[in-house]
Amino acid sequence: MNILGIETSCDETSASIVRDGREVLSNVVATSLGEHQKFGGIIPEIASRRQLEYINIVTAKAVEDAGLAMKDIDAIAVTKSPGLIGSLLVGITFAGALAYALKKPLIHVNHIHAHIYANYLVERGSPRFEGIYADLPLPAIGLVVSGGHSSLFSIKDFRHFRVIGQTRDDAPGEAYDKVARILDLGYPGGPVIDALARSVSATDIKFPRAELAGSDDFSFSGVKTAVLYHIRKYAGSAGYSVPKVAAAFQESVISVLAQKSLAACRSRKRHVLLVGGGVAANTSLRERLQTLGTAAGVKVSFPPISLCMDNAAMVAGLAYVRTRPVDG
């Protein structure tokens, strides 16, 4: 079954064809990020305007890259929520019109759930193809960390995602972007802060960590504010180091994400942790969770870096399993 996925929840315009919910035949992503950088964040009007321009081209390219024709598409999937309203409307309207013209089923997908499903996608011919479901059995705990979201899920199967924890204020990616702005590092902040943090072996700076005892929720606004006060007090003084500030900030964020996620696995007796979202590309987070997961007897899975960012392959993949029996 070949499903064409359409993803336009933020600034990316993506189309992908996935076969039988696992094999990525094509995955095309166009981004307007360069136009947003000078503003230090996403401008919704610019994003939706570019998506209107790109979506036909991106979809045609995805079909071509897959070596298929439109007649070979069995269903169309599209992100319904959450996301920027204007951007979502572009994708939903386009996908709906295409499904109507081709007389194919239209499947609406939750963007956040799709980030979790990205763990089950494989490139064409990958040796992981046959064993991927056996390697990552459900039920599991899911962690989505991105610019707009920070959520923990208890996942019974691909139709049942129950939120057990979420951010009470800033999402981790949002905190990275705001701290990068404070440090005058540009936008987006995640990659540059991760690189700076890894450039120093240690830092004696300690920023607060919102433990929120007794809860699976997250909070990252406090550490962002602590960074601001630290810079106001120490910037320009002897020994002040932007890389050390970045390392201390990242340590605060990553330690909480790791601790909360593995605690959720322990308390619910889950042995699989599925991680997704843009911040899942952070190299330090990947290393920390893999190390702690191994020690705790938890299989921690991340999608390939290319599938951590918003993409249509995860949308098409999840749509497929939503059409199958519950046991997948």
Q: Are 144 and 153 in contact (CB under 8 A)?
A: yes
What is the rounded average pLDDT of the residues 255-269? 96
- Report which residue type is found at 177: D
What is the rounded average pLDDT of the residues 262-286? 96
Domains of the chain in start order, with CATH, are 2-121+307-322 (3.30.420.40), 140-302 (3.30.420.40)
Tokens standing for 11?
A: 């600034």
Q: Are 40 and 187 in contact (CB under 8 A)?
A: yes
Query: In sequence order, which residues have a C-beta less than 8 Å from that of residue 102 and are 6 or more positions away?
Result: 70, 71, 73, 76
Write down the pTM of the prediction: 0.92
Would the pLDDT of 42 be above 90? Answer: no
Please confirm whether the linkage preceding 188 is cis (ω < 30° from 0).
yes
Q: Are 14 and 30 in contact (CB under 8 A)?
A: yes
Q: Could you read off the pLDDT of 101-156 as tens digits, one per residue?
A: 999 999 999 999 999 999 999 977 666 555 566 689 999 999 999 878 889 999 99
Q: Could you read off the pLDDT of 45-90 as tens digits, one per residue?
A: 999 999 999 999 999 999 999 999 999 999 999 999 999 999 999 9
Tokens standing for 180?
A: 């990068």
% the chain with pLDDT above 70? 95
Edge-to-edge order in the sheet of strand 272-276: 160-166, 150-157, 140-145, 272-276, 299-301
Whole-number average pLDDT of the chain: 93
**Cα separation, 315 vs 117, whole angstroms:** 8
- Report which residue type is found at 187: Y
Residue with tokens 């479901």: 133
Q: What is the DSSP string of 174-217?
A: HHHHHHHHHTT--SS-HHHHHHHHHTSS-----------TT---
What was the pLDDT predicted at 328? 41
What is the rounded average pLDDT of the residues 272-286? 95
327: confidence class by pLDDT, cuts 50, 70, 90: very low
Q: Are 30 and 54 in contact (CB under 8 A)?
A: yes
What is the Cβ-side half-sphere exposure of residue 304, based on CA atoms within 13 angstroms? 13
Tokens standing for 172?
A: 């981790």
